[in-house]
């Protein structure tokens, strides 16, 4: 009887157009039993039922004493199944109280997400959190040991209560390589201890953060997006990929000396995303006192600024003097980003003027207002650094274009217009290569 129902779902030819879809309205448990008897072909119409089943969370009310073992059971039950999306849930909603609701999901193999956003998020209590991962302990599942390998752990909307629960839970995890912490309101200070195995750390939109300390010997990637806060990198020896998406200070005076550990920590990176204001107000003053400092290994730079006026160009060029191995430069202009009235010339505060990006191969530009500004910037850059990389322009609603230059001859005695200030004439041609930066969305 059950098999007959499944056949009707799999073979639309056996259904009339007027038949009502009763199958998708069945309770999740009944639907699972049906699908277990006759697993669906991925290309069939009824495969949509499996997708819907996987995306709908089971809801379970439990006590706080049982939550750790319940999450471990959930994670381990998903693997080793022939049809894991059917035999075990991919998402469970644990209800401990109105203040603590956990949506637990396994989006892919060895990935675990703990989302606390459905709990009470009003008036969050401020707290500090020290998270220690990849300890030597082995997990216990209903009284016996078993391996608990979680490669990527994503934590969303933790508060002062749930962080204690997570700290207890992660003692059972081994070999966490990627840690993502996002949207934790009330989190004032964060310390991450991952001395072994941790390779990637992302901290995103934790709007109350004031300080971050990372102690992770094998860390290679650091992504931060949120308010300006102090950073301390301890025993971080192999950092290669850094994105510093600081939203800007909410105060006029910034103590740039607090960011010296961060500057030293990112000195050896190969890929870096940085806001122009961060260099103007913090790293620039720090570099003015460091005579021999260089980003000698930096190959890819994504530079984000609110405009490309002369003062902003001078700021960018001031930073590029420290990037002697730069191969690819990506410039993104976005007026929505933090900008501050500019006083004085940054170059005058930088004593180190040696060096230049003599290995620069490509400059990709996005957000410029018009083609004349683009071409003036290009000529200025070639004059300052004596380099001629390939320039690629990205404009909204247009195909990416590459610039070709032709030397321009000015007629004697003719007044120069804005476009006549250019030393060359330029021709735009469509760009066919995809030079997507590692930090692009």
346 pLDDT tier (thresholds 50, 70, 90): very low
Q: Which of 133-142, 348-357, 392-401 is predicted with the least confidence, judged by mean pLDDT?
A: 348-357
Query: What rounded mean pLDDT belongs to the chain?
Result: 78
Number of other residues whose CB lies within 10 A of the CB of residue 284: 18
Q: Dihedral, CA atoms, 384, 389, 391, 392, nearest 10 degrees?
A: -140
Tokens describing residue 391: 């320039």
pLDDT at residue 339, as a whole number: 64
pLDDT at 26 over 60: yes
- Mean pLDDT confidence for 122-139: 80
- Mean pLDDT confidence for 414-421: 57
Q: What are phi and psi of 164, to 5 degrees?
A: -70, -40
The SS3 of residue 340 is: coil
- Mean pLDDT confidence for 191-198: 91
pLDDT at residue 101, as a whole number: 86
C-alpha angle 160-164-165 in degrees, rounded to nearest 5: 115
Q: Which residues pair with 128 in a beta bridge?
A: 189
pLDDT at residue 81, as a whole number: 55
H-helix or E-strand containing 102?
strand 101-105
CA distances from 157 to 61, 124, 182, 202 (A): 20, 10, 6, 14
C-alpha angle 57-61-65 in degrees, rounded to nearest 5: 120
pLDDT at residue 326, as a whole number: 96
Number of other residues whose CB lies within 10 A of the CB of residue 414: 8
% of residues, the chain, pLDDT over 70: 69
Separation of CA 43 from chain center? 33
pLDDT at residue 433, as a whole number: 57
Q: Dihedral, CA atoms, 55, 59, 62, 67, nearest 10 degrees?
A: 0
Task: Give tens-digit pLDDT for 281-297.
Answer: 899 999 888 878 999 99
pLDDT at 441 over 70: no
Task: Give tens-digit pLDDT for 353-385.
Answer: 556 798 999 999 998 888 888 888 988 898 888
Q: How many helices (H) and strands (E) does the chain have?
A: 11, 22
Sign of CA pseudo-dihedral 107, 111, 112, 115: negative
Sign of CA pseudo-dihedral 84, 88, 89, 94: negative
Pairing type for strands 241-246 and 221-226 reads: parallel
How many whole angstroms separate alpha carbon 107 and alpha carbon 376?
Answer: 48
Q: Which residues pair with 200 in a beta bridge?
A: 178, 221
Q: Within 13 Å of residue 126, how many CA atoms lie on the same side as its CB?
A: 7
* Helices assigned H by DSSP within 154-294: 162-169, 260-265, 276-278, 284-287
Task: Give tens-digit pLDDT for 316-342.
Answer: 999 999 999 999 999 999 877 666 655
Q: Dihedral, CA atoms, 28, 34, 37, 43, nearest 10 degrees?
A: -90
- Mean pLDDT confidence for 122-151: 72
- Mean pLDDT confidence for 268-276: 95
How many whole angstroms separate alpha carbon 372 and alpha carbon 391?
Answer: 14
Q: Which of 8-17, 34-43, 131-140, 201-210 is predicted with the least confidence, judged by mean pLDDT?
A: 8-17
Task: Give tens-digit pLDDT for 38-65.
Answer: 555 554 445 545 555 556 677 788 877 7
The DSSP string of 170-204 is GGG-B---EEEEE--TTEEEEEEE--SS--EEEEE
Residue where the block lists tokens 């469509």: 430
Bigger pLDDT: 374 vs 19: 374
% of residues, the chain, pLDDT over 90: 34
**DSSP designation for 227:** S
Bigger pLDDT: 204 vs 426: 204
pLDDT at residue 25, as a whole number: 63
């Amino acid at each position: 009887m059950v098999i007959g129902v499944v056949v009707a779902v799999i073979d639309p030819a056996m259904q009339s157009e007027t038949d009502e879809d009763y199958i998708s309205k069945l309770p999740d448990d009944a639907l699972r039993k049906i699908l277990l008897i006759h697993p669906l072909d991925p290309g069939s119409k009824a495969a949509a039922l499996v997708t819907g089943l996987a995306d709908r969370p089971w809801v379970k009310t439990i006590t706080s004493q049982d939550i750790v073992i319940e999450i471990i059971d959930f994670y381990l039950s998903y693997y080793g199944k022939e049809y894991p999306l059917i035999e075990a849930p991919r998402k469970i909603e644990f209800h401990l109280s109105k203040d603590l609701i956990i949506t637990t999901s396994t989006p892919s193999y060895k990935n675990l997400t703990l989302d606390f956003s459905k709990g009470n998020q009003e008036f969050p209590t401020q707290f500090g959190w020290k998270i220690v991962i990849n300890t030597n302990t082995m997990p216990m599942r209903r009284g016996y040991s078993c391996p608990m390998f979680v490669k990527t752990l994503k934590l969303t909307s933790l508060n002062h209560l749930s962080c204690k629960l997570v700290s207890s839970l992660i003692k059972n995890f081994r070999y966490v390589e990627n840690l993502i912490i996002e949207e934790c309101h009330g989190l004032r200070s964060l310390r991450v201890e991952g001395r072994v195995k941790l390779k990637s750390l992302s901290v995103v939109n934790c709007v109350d953060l004031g300080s971050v300390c990372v102690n992770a010997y094998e860390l290679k990637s650091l992504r931060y997006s949120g308010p300006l806060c102090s950073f301390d990198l301890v025993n971080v020896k192999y950092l290669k990929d850094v994105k510093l998406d600081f939203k800007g200070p909410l105060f006029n005076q910034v103590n740039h000396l607090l960011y010296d550990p961060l500057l030293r920590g990112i000195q050896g990176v190969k890929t870096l995303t940085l806001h122009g204001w961060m260099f103007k107000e913090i790293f620039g003053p720090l570099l003015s006192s460091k005579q021999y400092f260089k980003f000698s290994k930096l190959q890819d730079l994504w530079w984000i600024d609110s405009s490309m006026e002369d003062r902003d160009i001078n700021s960018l060029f001031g930073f590029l003097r420290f990037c002697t191995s730069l191969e690819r430069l990506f410039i993104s202009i976005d007026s929505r980003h933090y900008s501050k009235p500019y006083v004085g010339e940054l170059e005058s505060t930088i004593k180190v003027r040696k060096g230049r990006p003599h290995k620069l191969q490509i400059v990709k530009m996005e957000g410029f207002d018009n083609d004349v500004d683009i071409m003036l910037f290009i000529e200025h850059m070639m004059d300052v650094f004596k380099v001629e990389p390939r320039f690629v322009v990205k404009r909204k609603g247009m195909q990416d274009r590459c610039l070709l230059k032709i030397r321009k001859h000015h007629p004697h005695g003719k007044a120069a217009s804005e476009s006549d200030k250019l030393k060359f004439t330029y021709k735009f041609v469509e760009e066919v290569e995809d030079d997507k930066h590692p930090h692009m969305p």
